[in-house]
Structure 1
Amino acid sequence: MAAILKNRRIRDSVLQVAFVATILLTIVVAAITARANLDAQGLTSGFGFLERSTGWRISFSLIEYSTSSPYWKAILVGILNSLFLGAIALPLATVIGVTVGVMRTSGNGMAELVGVTYVETFRNVPLILQLLFWYTLLLALPTPRDATLILGGIAFTGRGIYIPGLNVTGGSAFVATVVVIAGAALALWLKARRWPDLNLVHARRERRVLWGGVVGLAVVAMWIGRIPETSLMSIPEQRGLNFREGIRISPELMACIIAISIYGGAYIAEIIRAGFNAVPKGQSEAGRALGLTNWQIFSRIRLPLAVRIVMPTLINQYVWLFKATTIGIAISFTDFFMVISTAINQSGQTLELIGILMGGFLIINYSIAWVLNRVNDAIKLRGTQLRI
């Protein structure tokens, strides 16, 4: 036995097995104890409650929902709302961050002053305070009765922002979205595999044909799936004390989008600025020596290299920003966290619902990180190309 324990490989294996066994034993004991405590308090465990009707309303939902809908559908509504908020806020934060990052490295004194002021203002104020500020500001907008349409179909009111929309069903909108995503994927594949081998005229012609076909198929899908006896477009109209038709963006959703976008944009601006500063000046000088314009140097040299440098940091920031969507509970926006909190109060299934919440965010955030890491692997530069 002593000889066996002296073998380092065997000793390490025994220690690892003992460590894993201790963790599993701890989990089993915790589960048994929790089950015993629930039984002592007369509480049932399990996920059977997911089939029971909720009996409470949800103010904002991307899918059909009513008070008689089961708990699993309410949770699905919350997940979709969080994904919808993240899908809007994260790209907006990226656009703001890149713009401010460019301003801070532009060499223009006024642009740099504006960029510094923006970053130092919004980065140093807590996100929840910014959310409450924007929410209060949106609620202070005129009532629908006193509001007027601008740009032919947009109205800013205290009950929400009304914009033109489409009279289409959810299924047709989903099909159109799939067509656009498939077209974008095909365009990326052709850009990598086919278009570099074609001359410029033929490549441009194929791009026009591709995107013309994608847009045409998307429009056809929405036209076929439009709501019967209605036009494809839905323009807001003032009727009585409110606006009808169009799409209403609730103050809660709009406040979350603005707060997360502006707050996240301040952090992304600093990340992008660091990326620009890390690009060697020799790269830009080489572009000028080749006769490239300032825009070509920026779009084809500085920006691609900066993004490659800061991509790992951006991935971490995106994951953090998506987790920040849970602040919507402060103004009653029905996101994933809000739905789970309400479900806990209504059903009493605390452990199960917290497990669903943790598992949901784990899957979503891991998926975001996995996709962006694959993008990072595809665009990163190998070797020592940046060493000058």
Structure 2
Amino acid sequence: MRNALLQLLFVGSLAVVVVAGILTAWQNLTAQGLSFGFDFLFRSTGWDLNFSLLPVTANDPYWWYFLCGILNTLFLGVSGLILATIVGGIVGFARTSSNETAQLLGRTYVDIFRNIPLILQVFFWYAIITHLPVPRNAYRAGDVFLTSRGLYVPIPNVGGALLAAIILALVAACVLPIWIGRTKYLRRPQGSRLDLQWAAAGAALLCALAILLLGRPADGPVLNYPVLQGLNLRGGLRISPEFTALVIAIAIYGGSYIAEIVRGGFKAVGKGQIEAAQSLGLRPWQTFSRIRFPLALRAMLPILANQYVWLMKATTMGIAVGFTDFFMIVALAINHSGRTLESIGILMAGFLAINLSLAAVFNRINRAIALKGNQLRG
């Protein structure tokens, strides 16, 4: 009873502080003639975005702009996390290899890029990209153009909704085989599901191909290629300099931290387990794929989840170079609408939803691969 009363007193004290803060803020706003509410979300913004994955005009309401900002942040964050994982994995493998040159290169990379602030790296790469040649003198590799106005690449010749469907089908082609191989909802043993995995991947790829062929304009090309027209490039997909600089900076900076996480994970695998695998006659690749990597992944995953959450929050650096992510759109909304508390509350709720969802996914994966009954359980 005493413990319950103490907890009730503590929670009640917190509630009183929160309510008092809300009432004080309400009184201050009323005294200054300011109103509080979210009715502004349904008013037209009157300003445009220079980058959006969704169609947007100046007549769209604020809630649509906030949704576009969240999608831009997710797109930037996921792209940066994927590239940072690739870079960190390569550097981490180099640091744990037996080759002294690879170890030296990996250690040099980590020491340099981990100790330079992220915002300086963003400015550095943005300055390099914006000083590239103009479209007329662009660096070209086939149908890919690299210019000071961005990177131009071919894109499927379909509308935005169909393009999103193609991307989802491609993601399903990668995710479905993994899910089929590990799920417990199928009665067939896990070792005999290879035909189902191939069938699921093939069906998803065929679905993507069908959308591409049927969704393109009549007698039009399958891909929309960028071409030089006058002083600029037309067609294809333009990846803006702001987005490119942010992705490169997040990948390089985050990769230096992930490399150390990878190195620590492999160092956590005991030598006795590797020697036991060698004594059983396992080849080096079998030892790596069946012993070292699974055990190292279990040690890496909790720390890796924290690093991913931090890198997702680092996408707010986009405001420094003019990338219209969620944070920048909220800042613009505050300037145009004057609703500071409401906009900051939406910003906090959005990042909480993103990062808590990311943490929940990694916690679920961590519980699924944890070895029960040993020192790695959480």
TM (norm. structure 1) is 0.91
Alpha-carbon offset, residue 294 of structure 1:
2.1
Question: Does residue 121 of the first structure (1) align with residue 148 of the second (2)?
Answer: no
| Correspondence for 1:345 | 335
Question: Does residue 254 of the first structure (1) align with residue 244 of the second (2)?
Answer: yes
**2-structure distance, mates of 1:61, 1:105:** 41
Which residue among 258, 262, 270 is the counterpart of 1:268? 258
Alpha-carbon offset, residue 211 of structure 1:
1.9
Residue identity in the other structure for 1:363? A
Residue identity in the other structure for 2:317? I
Question: Does residue 216 of the first structure (1) align with residue 177 of the second (2)?
Answer: no
Question: Does residue 169 of the first structure (1) align with residue 155 of the second (2)?
Answer: no
Alpha-carbon offset, residue 189 of structure 1:
3.4
8 Å contact 2:177–2:198 — kept in the other structure? Answer: no
Residue identity in the other structure for 1:139? T
**2-structure distance, mates of 1:188, 1:95:** 19
| Correspondence for 2:51 | 60
Change (3 A) 1:228 1:346: farther
Structure 1 runs not aligned, ≥5 long? 1-8
Question: Does residue 299 of the first structure (1) align with residue 289 of the second (2)?
Answer: yes
Residue identity in the other structure for 1:116? R
- 1:26-37 matches, within 5 Å, as 26-37=17-28
- 1:82-231 matches, within 5 Å, as 82-150=73-141, 152-192=142-182, 194=188, 196-198=190-192, 204-227=194-217, 230-231=220-221
| Correspondence for 1:334 | 324
| Correspondence for 1:22 | 13
Change (3 A) 1:363 1:96: same
Percent of aligned pairs with the same amino acid: 50
Shifted more, 158-167 versus 28-37: the winner is 28-37
Residue identity in the other structure for 1:379? I
- 1:352-371 matches, within 5 Å, as 352-371=342-361
Residue identity in the other structure for 1:216? L
**2-structure distance, mates of 1:183, 1:131:** 34
Residue identity in the other structure for 1:300? R
SS at match of 2:60: coil
**2-structure distance, mates of 1:215, 1:360:** 33
Alpha-carbon offset, residue 183 of structure 1:
4.3
8 Å contact 1:139–1:251 — kept in the other structure? Answer: yes
Shifted more, 372-381 versus 17-26: the winner is 17-26
Structure 2 runs not aligned, ≥5 long? none
Superposed CA RMSD in Å reads 1.8
Alpha-carbon offset, residue 281 of structure 1:
1.6
Shifted more, 205-214 versus 331-340: the winner is 205-214
Alpha-carbon offset, residue 227 of structure 1:
4.9
SS at match of 1:104: helix
Residue identity in the other structure for 2:270? P
8 Å contact 2:173–2:205 — kept in the other structure? Answer: no
Tell me the alpha carbon deviations over residues 121-177 of structure 1, each in whole angstroms, 9 at most, x when there is no partner.
000000000000000000111110111421x11111000011111122222223333
**2-structure distance, mates of 1:185, 1:258:** 26
**1-structure distance, mates of 2:24, 2:219:** 60
| Correspondence for 1:4 | none
Change (3 A) 1:185 1:136: closer
Shifted more, 296-305 versus 239-248: the winner is 296-305
SS at match of 1:145: helix
SS at match of 2:151: strand
TM (norm. structure 2) is 0.93
8 Å contact 2:180–2:196 — kept in the other structure? Answer: no
Question: Does residue 321 of the first structure (1) align with residue 298 of the second (2)?
Answer: no
Residue identity in the other structure for 2:113? F
Structure with max Cα Rg: 1
Tell me the alpha carbon deviations over residues 245-290 of structure 1, each in whole angstroms, 9 at most, x when there is no partner.
1111100000000000110000010011001011012222233333
Q: How many residues align structurally? A: 372
8 Å contact 1:172–1:224 — kept in the other structure? Answer: no
